[in-house]
Amino acid sequence: MIAPTHALTLLGDKLQPGERVLYAVRPDIWVTIRNKLFLLWIGIPWCAGTLSLYFAGRASPLVALPLALIGIAMVAAPIIMAIDTRYTIYAVTDRRALIVHDGFRADVVSCPFERMDATLEILAPAGKGGHLYFASGMPTKLRDVDYTGKLAFRDLAEPNEAAERLEAARKGL
């Protein structure tokens, strides 16, 4: 969790006049890596297979290089995504939920309480970290929206705590 005063300095220019930050947190790096680990399981054998084909003389450099680059991208993706989480803040204010990305692709997503679903949904595989879904019918082009149009705080270490804080803020507690 981010201390409220520190959250104000990080989010100051994104807040509306008189808006108060009630809760702010960053995605957890280890949850992000765990959720993207399958890319490593595919990327490492892919690279090994591509190198094997090249050194066995079964693939020319024109074929091996693009294949190797695909494997390298799969290996690098979880690391890049983990770095990007350090530049993401999920905040609950007295008016809305706010997602601020200041990393590789800066953007801000704001969802007022009135726009949120009646019930929050937590997706927590094995109970260790997860996602908090709170709004449906959002444009799928937004980066924190899944393919069904559900907006979420992603890769949280404690999604239950975030749900409790968001629910309390929606009730005005």
Residues 93/22, Cβ–Cβ less than 8 Å: yes
Question: How long is the chain?
Answer: 173
In this predicted structure, what is the pLDDT of residue 11? 87
| Second CATH level (architecture) for the domain 4-26+89-171 | Roll (2.30)
Burial (CB < 10 A; 0-12, 13-18, 19+), residue 118, is: exposed
Which helix H or strand E contains 98, and what residues bound it? strand 96-101
User: Where along the chain do its domains lie?
Assistant: 4-26+89-171, 34-83
In this predicted structure, what is the pLDDT of residue 35? 87
For 20-37, the pLDDT digits (tens) are: 999 999 999 999 888 889
Question: Tokens 């990080």 label which residue?
Answer: 10
For 106-123, the pLDDT digits (tens) are: 899 999 999 999 999 999
| Segments of the chain with pLDDT less than 50 | none
Question: Tokens 């975030």 label which residue?
Answer: 162
